[in-house]
Chain A
Amino acid sequence: MITEAIIAALLVIGAFFTLVGSIGLIKLDNCMSRLHGPTKASTLGVGALLLASVVYSFNTADGSVHEILVMAFLFVTAPISGNFIAKVNMHSLRGKQALPPPPDDHVWGTYSEK
């Protein structure tokens, strides 16, 4: 009974935060602040749903913890993809001309001519 309550609570928490993440994605008004919304969906949302799945498998069958693998992978990769999307936003927000000139014999990393 208590286990079922825990599973239901984790499911509701995960679904709620997933929804909050997407509402933030649609409602926030600037592209850098829109990065903030889906982080809730990828950490709290999917994390709680995967925990619910782990507890559910222990409740019904033998139990397995390999959903933790998906969670760990998402937690590791979310900052990296967030960093890349922020770089894309920086490129679209300010052009090459807005930057100060780089030192001699150097170029700005992502603006360089190849």
Chain B
Amino acid sequence: MILMALNFAFVAVALSQLLAMLRLVKGPSTGDRILALDTMVINAIALIILLGMRLGTQVYFESALIIAMLGFVSTVAIARFVLRGDIIE
């Protein structure tokens, strides 16, 4: 039962990653692209957690944490660059 649910979750999260990538390509505004990148980072965290459950190890947790931190910082950095033309003033 867990294996079936895991496979369903893999397919659903991969599909949502593809949809977010479609929004990243389509745009049309910069805010949409930043939002699509943020969503892709969150979906990547979900995929890594699912992979860790599937392989039965705990090592993937740390990469999920690092990707969460990097995703937040990069979203704020791009948004700030669009807003002010500079990241650290």
Which A residues from 5 to 30 make CB contacts under 8 A with B?
5, 7-9, 11-12, 14-16, 18-19, 21-23, 25-26
User: Which of chain A's residues have a CB closer than 8 A to the CB of B35?
Assistant: 25, 34-35, 38, 85
Q: How far is the CA of A41 from the CA of B40 in the complex (A)?
A: 10
Q: What 0/1 readout, one digit per residue, does chain B (13-37) give for beta carbons within 8 Å of chain A?
A: 1011101101100000111101110
**What's the minimum C-beta distance from A89 to chain B, rounded to whole angstroms?**
4
- A interface residue count range (under 10 / 10 to 19 / 20 to 34 / 35 or more): 35 or more
Q: A11-B5, A80-B72 are in contact. Are A18 and B46 (CB under 8 A)?
A: yes
B contact face: mostly helix, strand, loop, or mixed: helix
Residue of B nearest to A3 (CB): B2
* Interfacial chain A residues near B2, Cβ < 8 Å: 4, 7-8, 11, 56
B23, B29, B89: which contacts A114 (Cβ < 8 A)? B89
Task: Give Cα A73 to B75, complex, Å.
Answer: 14
Q: Are A21 and B16 in contact (CB under 8 A)?
A: yes
Q: Which B residues contact A (CB, under 8 angstroms)?
A: 1-2, 4-6, 8-9, 11-13, 15-17, 19-20, 22-23, 29-32, 34-36, 38-39, 42-43, 45-46, 49-50, 52-53, 56, 58, 61, 64-65, 68-69, 72, 75-76, 79-80, 82-86, 89
Residues of A within 8 A of B (CB): 4-5, 7-9, 11-12, 14-16, 18-19, 21-23, 25-26, 31, 34-35, 38, 41-42, 45-46, 49-50, 52-53, 56-57, 60-61, 64, 66-67, 69-70, 73-74, 77, 80-81, 84-89, 91-92, 110, 114
21 contacts between A and B (CB under 8 A): A7-B2, A8-B4, A12-B8, A18-B12, A18-B46, A21-B16, A22-B15, A22-B17, A25-B19, A25-B35, A34-B35, A50-B49, A53-B49, A73-B68, A73-B69, A74-B68, A77-B72, A81-B72, A85-B38, A88-B79, A88-B82
